[in-house]
Chain A
């Protein structure tokens, strides 16, 4: 049967159209509603700029922490079988599943004076409640699974035999990682970083528990909406979306496999 006459193809096209419209229509509506004047005015607002910058910096820091600490764990999960591996994988996925205000409450509960970790953090001068440190902690918490799972998929795509051959040729485990594994997996790691950062930028529920102030962009949008209404929150949202779009497009382009797209 020709594809054009296959009812399944038409069903797929119809459902795809509904899905794409469901995602795009509200976003396009929101993006097109603010006037140029209100967008310009919002761009001049120092509080808005500060909150978007803070969102980017804290989310970037969360992605960086995920990269440094998550890479060894992703590699371990991709390459080794060990008792309790499934449990560990489920633990890593927990931040995706649990309600995000709960994440904030959980983090605060270990940061207080009643908890040994809280006392240690205080001794080290680390404050969680209402600080940038708290923001980064909470964003790392929610973003980690996205980085680890993507990096792990990247490592799994590399045949272990490449690493075995590298070792047999004289490279140590570390040398093999940096000369074989990393050059083949870095695109997945960058994509994982982007996903982690994207997740962190959009976080709201956990952030308002741990650090309403200093105000990140989602909190500012919420505050403007509750205090002044839709009209005043939309321009901030538009700028946040635009900044994220440009940033993520850039990172995607850097990580794009030229050979694969050729």
Chain B
């Protein structure tokens, strides 16, 4: 397990601000956030690579705050793998053994098992410079696991891989985690990684954690406007909620039972429905709108629709767009189901 208690790190032009985070034993935890949010900095703080200015770091019940990296029992795999270029595959994998009773049978057996498990037997004498991206990741993983760390840190390990390798390595992470029961903290900005691997996630923004929870919680019920936007709710709009009605600018939506201090409404683009309304007449619960922009993204088309001064973003199949004859400037009947509106 990993516990970060009020972790603060200060770098020129950036700081981590009193981060609290708890990752349970055997959990696969993903740290998500935009570039420059401080994800890797948290990872390197746990590994002891960067100096912290305040806070405590507990790894597997041990306070490792003041310990050097080599005493923390933490393995790390970077996006670029950071394989030692002057050593071949076998020497890379065996690198840490001498510091962990590697000469004993247990260490050697563990290495052999990892080499077999990760399909590296035929690569042992190869220079690491000649490996493919997927092979490099497997070697980096074997090297990190060879020392039997209590915690494994993964820094965007899939980001630089070709899509065909990415799925293989994702499967590998999943099965290795299941087999070893290791606590894993992975940094990523890819939602697919979080969906397919993580039990819980935390969203990081500008050096602080915005929200922590299960993948479903964070993606369906974001707690801040930033998280809503980050997880793809492209319509994050300021609102007023009063006596069961929701006002988005001049638009009013009935939301029975709602009467609170919510400041934003977050709506996924796929939850905004359009019907062609060339005459400008809309159905009872719809809003009259006009398409202001269409951007084609292959199978899908992204549309901006303006209704009573409010701009909504929506997506639809490019084929549906053609069938409905919708073009820029077309009048539409815009529908929002109140059940799809998430209030923040």
Choose from B80, B99, B100 the contact partner of A161 (Cβ within 8 Å). B80
Residues A166 and B47 in contact, CB atoms below 8 Å apart: no
Given contact pairs A162-B82, A167-B68, A184-B86, enumerate 9 new A-B contacts (beta carbons under 8 Å): A164-B82, A167-B70, A168-B76, A169-B70, A169-B143, A169-B147, A170-B70, A170-B99, A259-B129
Proximity bits, A151-178, B CB within 8 Å = 1, else 0? 0000000010110111111111101000
A168-B47 contact, Cβ under 8 Å, with A159-B82, A161-B78: yes
| A3: Cβ under 8 A from any B Cβ | no
Residues in chain B near residue A173, CB distance under 8 A: 68
Q: Is A57 an interface residue (CB 8 A)?
A: no
Chain A residue with Cβ nearest B72: A168
Asked if A165 and B99 make an inter-chain contact with CB atoms under 8 angstroms apart, the answer reads no
B75 at the interface (CB under 8 A from A): yes
- Bound together, the chains give a CA A172 to CA B129 distance in angstroms of 25
A165 in contact with B78 (CB, 8 Å):
yes
Q: Does A180 contact B (CB under 8 A)?
A: yes
- Main secondary structure, interface of A, reads helix
Residue of B nearest to A176 (CB): B70
Name B's interface SS: loop
Q: Taking the nearest CB of chain B, how far is it from the CB of A163, in angstroms?
A: 9
A124 to B96, CA, bound (A): 46
CB-defined contacts of B69 to chain A, threshold 8 Å: 164, 167-168
Q: Tell me whether B74 is interfacial, beta carbon within 8 Å.
A: yes
Measured CB to CB, the nearest residue on chain A to B155 is A161
What is the size category of the interface that chain A forms with chain B?
A: 20 to 34
| Per-residue contact bits, chain B 72-89, to A (CB 8 Å; 1 contact, 0 not) | 101110101010111000
Tell me the complex Cα distance, A174–B86, Å: 18
The residue on B at minimum CB distance from A172 is: B70
Q: Are A165 and B70 in contact (CB under 8 A)?
A: no
Which A residues are closer than 8 A to B by beta carbons?
Answer: 81, 159, 161-162, 164-173, 175, 179-180, 183-184, 259
User: When A161-B78, A164-B69, A165-B78 are in contact, do A170 and B96 touch as well, CB less than 8 Å?
Assistant: yes
Taking CB atoms, residues of chain A closer than 8 Å to B86 are 180, 183-184
Number of interface residues of B (CB under 8 A): 28
Rank and list the top 7 A-B pairs by shortest CB-CB distance, nearest first: A170-B99, A169-B96, A167-B69, A161-B82, A183-B86, A164-B49, A165-B82
In the assembled complex, the CB of B96 is this many whole angstroms from the nearest CB of chain A, namely 3
In the bound complex, what is the Cα–Cα distance between A162 and B95 (angstroms)?
A: 12
Complex contact B74–A168 (CB within 8 A): yes
Q: How far is the CB of A176 from chain B (nearest CB, A)?
A: 9
Which residue of B82, B99, B149 contacts A171 across the interface (Cβ within 8 Å)?
B99
Judged by a CB distance under 8 angstroms, whether B38 is at the interface is no
Q: Which residues of A contact B95 (CB under 8 A)?
A: 166, 169, 171, 179
Inter-chain CA distance A167–B85, complex, in Å, is 16
Complex Cα–Cα for A161 and B84 (A): 10
Most chain B Cβ neighbours within 10 Å, of A81, A159, A161, A180: A161
Contact residues in B for A168 (Cβ distance below 8 Å): 47-49, 69-70, 72, 74-76, 144, 149
Residue pair A171, B96 in contact (C-beta under 8 Å): yes
Please, how many angstroms separate the alpha-carbon atoms of A171 and B100 in the complex? 10
